[in-house]
Structure 1
Amino acid sequence: MVLIVEFEIATPILRQTVDDVAKIDVEEIYQSETGATKLICWVHGDDLGHLETALTADDTVRTASLLEEQDDRRLYSITLSEHGEAHLTYPTAAEYDIGYHEITVTTDTKIRARVPTRASLFAYRDVCREKGIPFRIQRIFRESDPSGDRYGITDRQQEALQVALEEGYFDVPRETTLSAIAAKLDISDQALSARLRRGQANLLRNTMGERAPI
């Protein structure tokens, strides 16, 4: 039975940066054509005046590019440094078919993930501990539990998919654009694109039984 697991890991990734802000929501993790690991992140805080300095000083960050700016949050494309990649647990999660749904960095890194089996979960936990990364499980429930995500998608992914469907984004030919839907949801094009891809991957994985990359 597939599980939804909420857990915390004490990774150094973005820890120096989050000390100066309220929280960081990681929208997407992917590998660039050059092999570098990149994160698309929303950085939240009442005062983001020192954010650029914090990112520059963070030894887990190689580069950071501002994609969008709002009153109390900014969207960044962040490339991890070698130090950051050394503490990245995402490749291990992918190896054990664990799909991240939500990642929030505060005092610790909180992750909500879809896990195929308890054996996969414990194997992932063991690798985290081998890397010197503390691991704490907060909650486990079956994917079919009504309190969990239907079809393994988050509320934000469901909202994005629903609006895209209603507005005709999936029609042939398309009746709207990515930018128009992003404006309706008050998020950036990049954030919407990532949300739609992850939502569709989770839907396919949970309805067709095929493994799809996040």
Structure 2
Amino acid sequence: MALIVEFELRTPILREAAQAARKLRLEEVYGTESGEPKLLFWATVDDSDAFEAALDDDPSVRRDTPLETASDRRLYSVALTDDAAARLTYPAAAKHDVAILEIVVTDETVVRARVPSRDALQAYRDRCLERGVGFRLQRLYPERDPDADGDRYGVTEPQREALRTAHSAGYFTVPRETTLSELAPEFDITDQALSARLRRGQANLLENTLADDTT
């Protein structure tokens, strides 16, 4: 049975910017066609001007772009410096089949992930330390039965809601009966953020269903 792990990463990525925000919630890590690593995240702030000044001064950020504002949150796309990109732990997570479920940055960078085994978690931890990223375990527990309350097939509640709404609206039919632009306002997020949420939800579903099907 897979395990759910919660841990703190001591990483310099967005650390200074986070001091000017209530919290940062990562939506996606991706690369451009040229291979430049980028982050997509929501910032919950009290003073947007102070936060953007801190973001501009953050040594891990090459450039930043505000994409969307919703209430007290703003969605940002950030390109990382080379030094910061070298600290990213996503390549190590992919190598050891560690599925990142959530990353929230406040005073700490706290990660919730699914790991296939304790050995995989240990290997991922070792790779983090090799990259100069501190690792402190907070909680480790078995994944809940999919029929129990809580996450089902590793899909978070926001991902489940997005998938159900998109399915009901005909987003997955051929031809499609709706678009991301039409669906995104229901979640108060951008098209890009909704696309990332749907893809992560689909990835979790596949990982916990077809990926384990040996028939």
Q: Give the shorter-chain TM-score range.
A: over 0.9
1: CA distance, partners of 2:178 / 2:205: 22
Structural RMSD (CA) = 1.6
CA displacement at 1:125 relative to structure 2: 1.0
Using the size of structure 2 for normalisation, the TM-score is 0.92
| Equivalent residue pairs, number | 211
CA displacement at 1:40 relative to structure 2: 0.6
Q: How does 1:93-108 map to 2 (within 5 A)?
A: 93-108=93-108
Instruction: Find the counterpart in structure 1 of residue 68 from structure 2.
Output: 68
2: CA distance, partners of 1:102 / 1:44: 16
Asked whether the equivalents of residues 45 and 51 of structure 2 are also in contact (C-alpha less than 8 Å), the reply is no
Q: Partner letter of residue 19 of structure 1?
A: Q
2: CA distance, partners of 1:83 / 1:59: 9
Instruction: Find the counterpart in structure 2 of residue 205 from structure 1.
Output: 207
Per the alignment, in what secondary structure is the counterpart of residue 162 of structure 1? helix
Structure 2 residue aligned with 1:183, among 182, 185, 197? 185
Unaligned runs of 5+ in 2: none
2: CA distance, partners of 1:117 / 1:185: 34
Q: Partner letter of residue 178 of structure 2?
A: T
2: CA distance, partners of 1:32 / 1:45: 27
Q: How does 1:103-122 map to 2 (within 5 A)?
A: 103-122=103-122
Q: Partner letter of residue 44 of structure 1?
A: T
Residues 153-181 of structure 1, C-alpha deviations (whole Å, 9 max, x = no match): 11110110011111111122222111111
Instruction: Find the counterpart in structure 2 of residue 48 from structure 1.
Output: 48
Asked whether the equivalents of residues 59 and 83 of structure 1 are also in contact (C-alpha less than 8 Å), the reply is no
CA displacement at 1:148 relative to structure 2: 5.0
Per the alignment, in what secondary structure is the counterpart of residue 177 of structure 2? coil
Q: How does 1:116-131 map to 2 (within 5 A)?
A: 116-131=116-131
Instruction: Find the counterpart in structure 1 of residue 196 from structure 2.
Output: 194
1: CA distance, partners of 2:77 / 2:162: 21
Residues 126-165 of structure 1, C-alpha deviations (whole Å, 9 max, x = no match): 2222333221222222224436521011111011001111
Per the alignment, in what secondary structure is the counterpart of residue 151 of structure 1? coil
2: CA distance, partners of 1:94 / 1:105: 21
Give me the identity figure in percent: 54
CA displacement at 1:204 relative to structure 2: 0.9
